[in-house]
């Protein structure tokens, strides 16, 4: 089921989301997975909001990021279409989160 | 020279020394906690409080539609006292909020502290402090304070084309490992100091230079030890990139109460409880329309000083007073989705507002100030 959803999403995505057509190197999905990982991590562990709120807070377009939260290690992993992924980890109270 | 003569000479020098370091007389600051006058203000001016509350906290449509004003926190303070305070959408007084570009103004304050400490000068070349930025030796600290580096920078956010955005590339793309060299590696569109362009990259670069100047003598905790700790701020988080440079243009976090402390510090000319923390004149420069802004065809609807927005008309470029309902001395920080620290010196008023406004709301800053001003008369001491 999950694979089918991902394939469906892939078909709906514009070519720009997966290709490098712009001024900078990373495509939309690379940016979205990194954004979602970092800002979801900050939302949960710096702003101290719950997972439901943070899903709404980081909702982006394209909406293909899968989000896994490891609350014990304060780590957030994201992935899109099994090709792109992101991760961010909370360091400490002063320094918040950083992409890995 | 006799001891008496030495004393007399010292006494003669004293007034000028005192003047050079003077802090505003009669300025009032919060102690370790704020004095809460919200109930008294609500009783004294119920209509004004209700009007502010209705404007700020009335939601539009369903949450997932992300429409209209979505206020997360609002604190209005005067003379170290809270006149109004409220939170929305699950936030509380103890929860930090992402500041986005309000972080830039804090970076500007830290630059001032570096100057006060004698480790940075506004006309220093960037590569005096960061020799690795050899392609940016013609750019000065002043150019960055004015948002006038001249880099060909695209200040585009999530509502634009991602791959054209210098901001997204810096924060989440190829620049995120090391933001400072990423920014400094951009092509130029103008000579330094000649053209204003609002740039999150310039603020990150400024923080990179400030860090290089302060860290050797004061350590890498300087945003806290040299600024936030002194103001009694306990909530400040400032995220770093993988190279350990701070995200000085974007990723600061504060509670609204602590934002109000920063605003109070700016209101009182960079002093806190009698201690001068910023150089004399730093806030005056911060609050003056910068020459690059005046000399560039109008790009923004609000005037700009040093890392701070100003409610000023700029006739040179046809900019009228941006917020007609706000006093002309108003200055403020502004972050994406509605993060503001607004200072109205003539009313001794500071407004801290956090939000999640994903859609443009016309006249937002003007109307926020307009609704908060009636509270500025405060309550009887």
- Of the pLDDT bands very low, low, confident and very high (cuts 50, 70, 90), residue B242 is very high
Contact list in A for residue B161 (CB cut-off 8 A) is 16, 22
- Of the pLDDT bands very low, low, confident and very high (cuts 50, 70, 90), residue B10 is very low
DSSP annotation string for B309-351? EE---BGGGTBPPS-TTS-TT-EEEEETTTEEEEEEGGGTEEE
pLDDT at B19: 47
Q: Report residue A71: phi and psi, to 5°.
A: -70, -30
**C-alpha span between B248 and B128 (Å, rounded):** 19
**If contacts are CB pairs under 8 Å, which of residues 229-248 in chain B contact chain A?**
236-242
pLDDT of residue B20 exceeding 70, the answer is no
Contact list in A for residue B241 (CB cut-off 8 A) is 98
A98–B171 CB contact, under 8 Å: no
B239–A56 CB contact, under 8 Å: no
pLDDT of residue B102 exceeding 80, the answer is yes
Answer whether the bond into residue B303 is a cis peptide, omega within 30°: no
- On whether ipTM exceeds 0.90, the answer is yes
B356–A98 CB contact, under 8 Å: no
| Per-residue model confidence as pLDDT tens digits over B274-309 | 999 999 999 999 999 999 999 999 999 999 999 999
A98–B242 CB contact, under 8 Å: yes
Q: Out of B236, B241, B253, whose CB is closest to A47?
A: B253
**C-alpha span between A86 and B83 (Å, rounded):** 43
Pairing of strands A66-70, B349-355: unpaired
* Of B120, B147, B133, B132, residue with least CA distance to B215: B120
Contact list in A for residue B176 (CB cut-off 8 A) is 34, 99
Give the closest-approach CA distance of B184 to chain A in angstroms.
15
Which tokens belong to A47?
């702003």
Task: Answer with the residue of higher pLDDT: A17 or B103.
Answer: B103
| Per-residue model confidence as pLDDT tens digits over B243-264 | 999 999 999 999 999 999 999 9
pLDDT of residue B3 exceeding 80, the answer is no
pLDDT of residue B125 exceeding 70, the answer is yes
Q: Out of B63, B95, B236, whose CB is closest to A47?
A: B95
- Domains by residue range for chain B, with CATH: 35-377 (3.40.710.10)
**C-alpha span between A99 and A41 (Å, rounded):** 9
Average of pLDDT values for B6-31?
64
A42–B168 CB contact, under 8 Å: no
Name every residue whose Cβ is closer than 8 Å to that of residue A72 and which is 6 or more positions away in sequence: none
Helix (H/G/I), strand (E/B), else coil: B84: strand
């Amino acid at each position: 089921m999950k694979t089918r959803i991902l394939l469906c999403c892939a078909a709906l995505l514009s070519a720009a989301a997966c290709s490098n057509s712009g001024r900078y190197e990373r495509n939309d999905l690379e940016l979205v997975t990194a954004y979602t990982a970092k800002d979801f991590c900050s939302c949960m562990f710096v702003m101290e909001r719950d997972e439901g709120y943070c899903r709404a807070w980081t909702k982006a377009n394209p909406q293909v990021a899968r989000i896994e939260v490891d609350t014990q290690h304060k780590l957030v992993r994201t992935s899109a279409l099994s090709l792109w992924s992101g991760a961010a980890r909370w360091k400490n109270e002063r320094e918040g989160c950083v992409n890995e | 020279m006799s001891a008496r003569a030495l004393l007399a000479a010292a006494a003669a020098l004293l007034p000028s020394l005192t003047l050079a370091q003077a802090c505003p007389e009669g300025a009032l600051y919060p102690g370790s906690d704020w004095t809460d006058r919200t109930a008294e203000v609500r009783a004294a001016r119920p209509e004004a409080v209700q009007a502010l509350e209705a404007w700020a906290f009335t939601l539009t449509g369903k949450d997932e539609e992300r429409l209209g004003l979505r206020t997360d926190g609002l604190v209005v303070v005067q003379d170290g006292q809270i006149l109004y305070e409220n939170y929305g959408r699950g936030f509380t007084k103890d929860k930090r909020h992402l500041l986005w570009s309000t972080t830039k103004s804090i970076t500007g304050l830290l630059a001032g502290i570096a100057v006060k400490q004698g480790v940075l000068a506004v006309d220093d070349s960037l590569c005096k402090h960061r020799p690795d930025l050899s392609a940016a030796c013609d750019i000065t600290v002043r150019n960055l304070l004015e948002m006038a580096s001249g880099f060909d920078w695209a200040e585009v956010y999530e509502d634009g084309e991602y791959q054209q955005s210098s901001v997204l590339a810096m924060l989440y793309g190829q620049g995120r490992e090391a933001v400072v060299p990423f920014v400094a590696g951009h092509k130029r569109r103008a000579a330094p100091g000649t053209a204003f362009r609002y740039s999150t990259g310039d603020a990150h670069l400024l923080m990179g230079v400030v860090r290089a100047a302060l860290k050797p003598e004061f350590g890498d905790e300087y945003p806290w030890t040299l600024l936030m700790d002194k103001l009694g701020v306990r909530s400040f988080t400032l995220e770093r990139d993988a190279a350990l440079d701070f995200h000085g243009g974007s990723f600061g976090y504060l509670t609204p109460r602590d934002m109000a402390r920063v605003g109070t510090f700016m209101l009182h000319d960079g002093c806190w409880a009698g201690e001068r923390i910023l150089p004399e004149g730093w806030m005056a420069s911060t609050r003056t329309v910068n020459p690059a802004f005046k000399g560039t065809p109008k790009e923004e609807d609000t005037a700009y000083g040093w890392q701070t927005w100003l409610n000023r008309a700029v006739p040179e470029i046809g900019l009228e007073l941006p917020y007609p309902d706000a006093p002309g001395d108003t200055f403020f920080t502004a972050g994406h989705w509605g993060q503001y620290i607004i200072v109205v010196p003539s009313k001794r008023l500071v407004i801290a507002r956090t939000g999640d406004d994903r859609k443009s709301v016309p006249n937002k800053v003007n109307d926020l100030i307009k609704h908060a001003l009636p509270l500025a008369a405060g309550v009887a001491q």
